[in-house]
Chains A and B, each alone.
Chain A
Amino acid sequence: AQKITQTQPGMFVQEKEAVTLDCTYDTSDPSYGLFWYKQPSSGEMIFLIYQGSYDQQNATEGRYSLNFQKARKSANLVISASQLGDSAMYFCAMREGSNTGNQFYFGTGTSLTVIP
């Protein structure tokens, strides 16, 4: 089974609108971390937001928030007030266990296009 599933290959959003990028995960480990990365056309992976499995509140970082629904095993990324510079690939990732040296599992990504 896939560890991370992103079902939206491509998304479009109007500038200044909010957009939700979906991510579901699969793990039996009670301790895990969920990450979202942005990859612009230049290729670098830019860390956006992190959610720990034991965190009680949804993570937020500026215009990014993570809608963490543990029972549903979903960790959707919400980008508010979209900007043209938000156009990029977005990857959801998971690290199982509490060891920060454990590997990441990446989803297949969502290509976001912000329309002016």
Chain B
Amino acid sequence: GAVVSQHPSWVICKSGTSVKIECRSLDFQATTMFWYRQFPKQSLMLMATSNEGSKATYEQGVEKDKFLINHASLTLSTLTVTSAHPEDSSFYICSARDFTGSYEQYFGPGTRLTVT
């Protein structure tokens, strides 16, 4: 099956700093990638939809200036958490749609962010 990677798998940062999370499709081209956030013991909440070469579409309530998303190529999308605060601590998961149009979206392994 298709593989999506995320880097880093976990990160600890100080409050006020910025953190970049990468999402890569390793063996397929992804025109669309999705970024989710998951708090402990809760469901995945969609943050934004990232389309290659265009601006991301953010869900209601998600601050686009705080969560910067860039989808510069068909295999890479990045999420940058700017001026991180402890309440941004969460599990961030990306998924990618195969350009060939299979019914699946493929999920990355997730990135655990802890802001101290």
Report the nearest B residue to A98, measured CB to CB: B103
**A100 adjacent to B43 (CB under 8 Å):** no
Q: Is A76 an interface residue (CB 8 A)?
A: no
Q: How many residues of A contact B (CB 8 A)?
A: 20
A103 touches B49 (CB 8 A): yes
The complex places the Cα of A47 from the Cα of B1 at a distance, in Å, of: 10
Name, among A50, A95, A100, the residue most crowded by chain B CB atoms within 10 Å (CB to CB). Answer: A100
Cβ distance B113 to chain A, nearest Cβ, rounded Å: 12
A91 at interface by CB-CB < 8 Å: yes
Assess whether A100 is in contact with B109, with CB atoms less than 8 Å apart: no
Q: Which of A43, A50, A104 lies at the interface centre, i.e. has the most chain B CB atoms within 10 A of its CB? A: A43
- A100 and B34 contacting across the interface, CB-CB below 8 Å: no
Chain A neighbourhood of B107, CB < 8 A: 37, 44-45, 47
Of the listed residues A37, A44, A101, A104, the one surrounded by the most CB atoms of chain B closer than 10 A to its CB is A101
A116 to chain B, nearest CB (A): 23
Complex Cα distance, B110 from A52, in Å, reads: 27
Q: Is the CB of A52 within 8 A of B31?
A: no
Total contacts A to B, CB within 8 angstroms? 53
B-side contacts of A52, CB under 8 Å: 103
When distances are taken between beta carbons in the complex, the residues of chain A under 8 Å from B108 are 44
Are the CB atoms of B34 and A109 closer together than 8 Å?
A: no
How distant is the Cα of A95 from the Cα of B106 in the complex, in angstroms?
A: 13
B51 to A, closest residue via Cβ: A101
Residues of B within 8 A of A37 (CB): 107
Chain B residues lying within 8 Å of A91, measured Cβ to Cβ, are 43-44
Which B residue sits closest to A111, measured CB to CB?
Answer: B41
Tell whether, in the assembled complex, residue B93 and residue A100 are in contact, meaning their CB atoms are under 8 Å apart: no
Contact between B32 and A101 (Cβ–Cβ < 8 Å)?
A: yes
Q: Does A106 make an interface contact (CB < 8 A)? A: yes
Asked if A44 and B109 sit within 8 Å, CB to CB, the answer is: yes
Contact with A along B19-30 (1 / 0, CB 8 A): 000000000000
Q: Whole-angstrom distance between the alpha carbons of A33 and B104 in the complex?
A: 10
Residue of B nearest to A103 (CB): B46
Cβ contacts A to B, 10 pairs, < 8 Å:
A43-B110, A45-B95, A91-B43, A91-B44, A95-B105, A100-B102, A100-B105, A104-B34, A104-B44, A106-B43
